[in-house]
Structure 1
Amino acid sequence: MKKIIISSICLMISGVAFSQVIIGNDIGTATDKTSVLLEFANTNDRGIVLPYLRTMPVAPTEGTIILDATDSTRAKIKYYNGTWKDLSSGNEADISTVLTKQPTVTENNTVGTIIGSDQTSATGGALVLESSNKAMILPQVTSTDVVINPAPGMMVYIKGTNKRLAVFNGSKWTFWAP
Structure 2
Amino acid sequence: MKNIVSILFMLVSVTAFSQVIIGDAIGTASNKNSVLVEFAAGENKGIILPYVKVKPVGAGLVEGTIILDASDPTKAKVKYYNGSPTWVDLSSGNEANVTSALTTQASTITEDASSRAIIGAKTSDADGVLILESQTKAMVLPMVASTDDIPRPAPGMMVYINKAGAKRLAVFNGEGWTYWKP
- 3-state DSSP of counterpart to 2:100: helix
TM-score (normalizing by structure 2): 0.85
Q: How far did 1:39 drift?
A: 0.3
Q: Show structure 1 runs of 5+ residues with no match.
A: 1-12
Q: Any conservation in 2 of the 1:44–1:146 contact (CA below 8 Å)?
A: no
* Seq. identity, %: 59
Superposed CA offset, 1:10-69 (max 9, x none): xxx998433010001111111111110000011341000000001111222111000000
For the aligned residue pairs, the C-alpha RMSD in angstroms reads 1.7
Range that drifts further, 45-54 or 58-67: 58-67
2:159–2:169 CA contact under 8 A, matched in 1? yes
Which of 169, 173, 179 is residue 175 of structure 1 equivalent to? 179
Rate the CA distance shift 1:62–1:148 in 2: closer, same or farther, 3 A.
same
Matched to 1:141, the amino acid is V
SS of equivalent to 2:73: coil
> Which residue number corresponds to residue 89 of structure 2?
86
Q: TM-score, normalised by structure 1?
A: 0.87
Shift of 1:129: 0.5
Paired with 2:69 and 2:15, the residues of 1 have a C-alpha distance of 35
Distance 1:152 1:125 in 2: 18
* Structure-2 separation of matches of 1:27 and 1:90: 37
Closer, same or farther: CA 164–14 of 1 in aligned 2, 3 Å:
closer
Counterparts in 2 of 1:15 and 1:93: CA distance versus 1, 3 Å: closer
The letter for the 2-side match of 1:32 is: N
Residues 51/16 of structure 1: CA separation in 2 closer, same or farther (3 Å cut) = same
Distance across 1 between alignment mates of 2:111 and 2:98: 20
Determine the C-alpha separation between the residues in 2 that align with 1:70 and 1:14: 36
Structure 1 residue 105: Cα displacement: 4.0
Q: Do 1:93 and 1:170's aligned partners in 2 also have CA atoms closer than 8 Å?
A: yes
- What one-letter code is carried by the residue in structure 1 that aligns with 2:177? W
Q: Aligned pair count?
A: 164
Q: Is 1:114 paired with 2:118?
A: yes
Q: Does structure 1 residue 159 correspond to structure 2 residue 167?
A: no
Residues 52 and 67 in structure 2, CA contact (< 8 A), matched pair in contact too:
yes
Contact 1:62 1:80 in 2 (8 A): yes
Q: Which runs of 5+ in 2 are unaligned?
A: 1-11
Distance in 1, Cα, partners of 2:110 & 2:82: 26
